[in-house]
Amino acid sequence: MFRMWGKIWKDNHMLRDTVVSFSDYSLSRTQMVFQSLDEICCQFDLSKPIWLDANINDFRRHDKTRFNQDSFIEHIDFDYLEIQVIEE
């Protein structure tokens, strides 16, 4: 089962979190990551963030990345959205 943990942080405090799971392995890992991020953003009522080079590099190395204001088109009222793969 593929699981991704999404967290919203502000002033070093976690405001909200959710876990999204996929058991359909007909999808590629990349597709599961993007669909999980879409589901997390839908649950948090956020627009989809833009993947910057720093996000891609962090995610490749650690299976974890943070999206701050630079990744969002609209203004956000938190410091960053963090996603992390917790199970594959």
- Given this model, what pLDDT does residue 27 score? 86
pLDDT tens-place string over residues 65-88: 999 999 999 999 999 999 999 987
What is the mean predicted confidence (pLDDT) over 24-42?
A: 91
What is the mean predicted confidence (pLDDT) over 12-30?
A: 91
Instruction: Compute the distance between CA of residue 38 and CA of residue 8 in angstroms, rounded to an integer.
Output: 15
16 and 32 Cβ atoms separated by less than 8 Å: no
Residue 24 binned pLDDT confidence (cut-offs 50, 70, 90): confident
- pTM to 2 decimal places: 0.89
